[in-house]
Structure 1
C-alpha cells in the first residue's frame, strides 16, 4: 500500500511504534496452514487452504540474490488466462525491487537506501485466496526492512475470468454501494484501539485514499469480507496492522457481480478453475530413469555436488532433469516451499529421477532476522510440502543467503548446507559465464550453487556436465558426498 501522512501527530507517535508493533489482525492467507502465526517478517504464514491442483499450467515467477549484504527475493504466480492480473503483479514487484535497489532513480545500487534495525531485506511472496470457477484471487505480501513503517504491506489481486479483466480489491464492491460500504467500515474501524475519526478520514475520506488503502480485501470461508490495513494507514502506528471483517449478511447486498461470484467461489468452490486460457497447459514433468544406487567413493574418486536453488520451476526444472539424466548425474535440489505447493509433480520427478530434495525455506527470507517460531514455521511447512509430494521428509536445508546462526540451528533438526562455489547466475544471466565459473573454478568435492529458476542457468548445465565428466568428475548428491568423505 502507498502511504501518506495521516496527521502531524503521527510523527510524535512514531517513536512509540516498537512498543506495540504486533498486528491486531491476521497475517495474509496462504495455501498451506502454518504453526508459526503472525509475524512482521514471516510473509504469508497462515490462512485458508486453496486446492492448487486446479492451477494447471501455473508458472511461479521467481528471482533472488545470494548477496548477504543486499538480500532480496521476489515471486508471484503467472496463471494461464489471467494475463492482465499477472501484468499488474509484475509491475508492482518490479517497481518494489527497483526502488529497493535504487534503480528507479539511477546510480549505484542502494539496497533500500539505509539499513533497518536488522539490516536491509526485500521479500515479496504470494498466496492464493481463491482459485475456482472463473475467479482467481492472489495476495502479495512485501517485507521491506528499510521501510519506515513496520516493513510489511499486503495487496490482493483479483481476476474475473468471465469478463477477462483484472480487478483490484475495490472491484468486489458495486460502484453504487461504495459509500455505504465505507460508512459501515468506518464505524467498525473507529471502535478499534489506536483509531480515531481523524485517522480514518485522512485515509478513506476521498477517492484517492480509498483507491490506495482499500487494496487488500478477501472473503472468509463463511462469506464475511475481511479488509486488511497496513500499519499506520487508518490508525496510529502503535496500533499495528488492523483487520476488519464485515459479516456476509451485511456486505452481500453491496457486492458487485464479480464480488458475488468471488464470495460464492470462496464459500463453495467449484471442482476446477477455468479462466478461458487459449493455450493448453504444458504436460506434467516426467521423471527420468533413476541411475540406481550410487557406489561412488568420493574419498578415492573425483566428485562434485551440483545444487540447484529456489525451484521447482516450470519448465526449467523439467529440462534440467533431462540434461542430468543424459550423464547419469545426480544433484541436490534445495526447493522453496511455496513453489513445491504449486508444483508437487516436479518435486516428485526430481526424487524419482534419483536426485536429492532438500529444504530452502517457505518463501526465502533471511532466517536470522526471524524469531525461533518463525524459523520453525518456514522450515517445517516446507518439509511438510516436500513429504506430501514425495512421501519422504528432507534431512538437509540451505538457509537463504547462507544466513545462519545459533537460533537457526536450534530451531531445526535439519542439517545445514552452504556452498563452495557461487556461480552468481542471478546477476549475470549468461550461460557462458555460469559454465566458465564452474569448469574453471570448481575443485574436487566442491558444492556448487546454481539456480534452476533461470533458463540461462539451466542452459549452462550440458556443457558443465560434458566438460567435467571428461575430466573424470562424478556428480553426486550432498548426502552421498558427505557419507563417502
Structure 2
C-alpha cells in the first residue's frame, strides 16, 4: 500500500483554488442527499422540511468500499417501529448492490464485477426523509448506478403507516377504488409533456406493472401530490426525468385513509413521530473527558493519526469514543453529511471529547464523476451540517475513495487528506484482522483509514490502542500531525 497521505496533500495546500465559499446556514434536513441527477442539483425534493429531532433512536445502515476500481456506498435509515419498511429498503438496497457487483446472475459477471478492474462504474444509494410526523414516515432512496444505460439515477419512495403497522408502497397513498381515476389524471398530464410517447403512457394501464411505474410519489408542502418517473420510464431517454404534480384539490378525494394522513402530516406536521415502537430508543451518545491541549511534538516522538470514515453511527461511534478516552487518544472523524444531519448529537460528542471533525462529502459519491456545482454542493452542505452541530466549520476533507482531481481541488478551500494505511475493514469485518493490520504495518506519522460504521472495526480499537501505546506511539489528529511533523 503506497504511503501518500501527507506529502502530496501538504503540497496541495498551496494550489487549492479558493473559489467556493462555505455555506453558513443549516441545509433543509430532508433535502435529497445529492443524488445529483442531470436534471436536478438537489435530488428529488418535494419542498417539505423534516425535523430530524423527532427521529429518536434512528440508526443509519451504511456500508461502502474503498476500492477505487469498484466504488460503492449504500445507506438507508432504520427507524424504530418501522421494521417492515426497513426490511423493504434493505431488500432493495442489497439487490441493487448484488446486481452492481455481478452477484445475482448465476455466476455471469455483470455490472462492476464485469468491468475487469477498470475505473468508471459507481453505485451510490442514499436517502432523504419525506415525512416523519405523527404515525406517518416517508423515506426516499436515491440511487446512482453508473453502469446503467440511462442516466443512472433512480428514486423510490417508501411509506410506513404507524396506525396499521404496515409498510406502504407509493400507490398506497391512493384509495383502491380511485386508482383508475388517478392514473387517468396522471396520463393526461403526461400526454402534454415533450418526449412522452403514447406507448409509454399506455404502460400505465398495465395493472401488474403499474406499481413499478408509480413507485415515487410524495406530497409537497402545499399538499399537492408529485409523481416522479425515472429517465426512460414514461418518455424517451433524451427527455430526461419526468414528473407531474396533481393539485391538492384534485388529488385529495382520491386519497386512501393513509394517504390523507400522510398529506396532513406533510402540510401540518405534529410535534413528534410515534410509530408504536416496542423498544426504547438508544440513549444520546455522551461526550468523554477532553484530554485538553495536545503538546505532543511529532518531530520528536512517534505519532499516528487514526481516522474514522462514514459516520457518525449509533451506537458504534459512542462505543469508540469510550475506547479512545481510556487512552486519552485523539482521532479525526471524516463524517458524512446525511449522517451528521441525522445524528448531530454524536458529532457534538466527538468534538467535546477532543477529536477533530472533518468533511467526507454529503453521501459518499465519487467526486471526480460530478460537476463543479455538484462537488461544491456535496462539501458545502456537509460543512453546514457540521457547523450546525458543533459551531465550527471543518478545515479538512477526505474525498471518498481518494478520488481527487483539479475540479475537486478548485471547488473547495478545504485541505484534502488521503491515507497511508487502508485497513480494508469493510472487506474482512474481522476485529482481529483489522487490529493486526494496523499493528503490523504502523509506522511513525502514518494516517490510518478505519470505518466507525462497522462494529467489528470498533471492536478492533482497544487492541490497537493497547499495543501501539506500549510501543510509545501517540495518537493525534491529522491537523496536529501536520503542524508538528
Return the TM-score normalized by structure 1: 0.91
The answer as to 2:228 corresponding to 1:252 is no
| Partner SS state of residue 184, structure 2 | helix
Query: In 1, distance between residues paired with 2:205 and 2:32?
Result: 36
Q: How does 1:308-323 map to 2 (within 5 A)?
A: 308-323=308-323
The answer as to 2:103 corresponding to 1:98 is no
Tell me what 2:191 maps to.
190
Moved more, 98-107 or 212-221: 98-107
Query: In 2, distance between residues paired with 1:94 and 1:341?
Result: 24
Moved more, 189-198 or 150-159: 189-198
Tell me what 1:439 maps to.
439
| Deviation readout 1:328-387 (Å, 9 max, x if unpaired) | 000000000000000000000000000000000000000000000000000000000000
The answer as to 2:404 corresponding to 1:404 is yes
| Partner SS state of residue 265, structure 2 | helix
| Partner SS state of residue 458, structure 1 | helix
Query: In 2, distance between residues paired with 1:286 and 1:296?
Result: 26
When residues 376 and 472 of structure 1 are mapped into structure 2, their CA distance, relative to the original with a 3 A threshold, is same
When residues 329 and 109 of structure 1 are mapped into structure 2, their CA distance, relative to the original with a 3 A threshold, is farther
| Partner SS state of residue 129, structure 2 | strand
Query: In 2, distance between residues paired with 1:63 and 1:450?
Result: 12
Tell me what 1:23 maps to.
none
Q: Which runs of 5+ in 1 are unaligned?
A: 1-28
Does the 8 A contact of 1:332 with 1:356 survive in 2? yes
Tell me what 1:302 maps to.
302
Higher RCO (C-alpha under 8 Å, 6+ residues apart):
2
Moved more, 418-427 or 32-41: 32-41
Query: In 2, distance between residues paired with 1:109 and 1:115?
Result: 8
| Deviation readout 1:294-325 (Å, 9 max, x if unpaired) | 00000001000000000000000000000000
Tell me what 2:14 maps to.
none
| Partner SS state of residue 157, structure 2 | strand
Tell me what 1:139 maps to.
140
When residues 53 and 420 of structure 1 are mapped into structure 2, their CA distance, relative to the original with a 3 A threshold, is same
Moved more, 112-121 or 455-464: 112-121
Does the 8 A contact of 2:288 with 2:353 survive in 1? yes
Query: In 2, distance between residues paired with 1:331 and 1:106?
Result: 43
Query: In 1, distance between residues paired with 2:107 and 2:456?
Result: 26
Tell me what 2:382 maps to.
382
Does the 8 A contact of 1:113 with 1:146 survive in 2? no
Tell me what 1:119 maps to.
120
Tell me what 2:342 maps to.
342
The answer as to 2:131 corresponding to 1:130 is yes
Shift of the alpha carbon at 1:30?
6.4
Tell me what 1:467 maps to.
467
Moved more, 108-117 or 305-314: 108-117
Q: Which runs of 5+ in 2 are unaligned?
A: 1-27
When residues 422 and 238 of structure 1 are mapped into structure 2, their CA distance, relative to the original with a 3 A threshold, is same
Shift of the alpha carbon at 1:105?
2.5
Tell me what 2:60 maps to.
60
Please provide the CA RMSD for this pair: 1.9
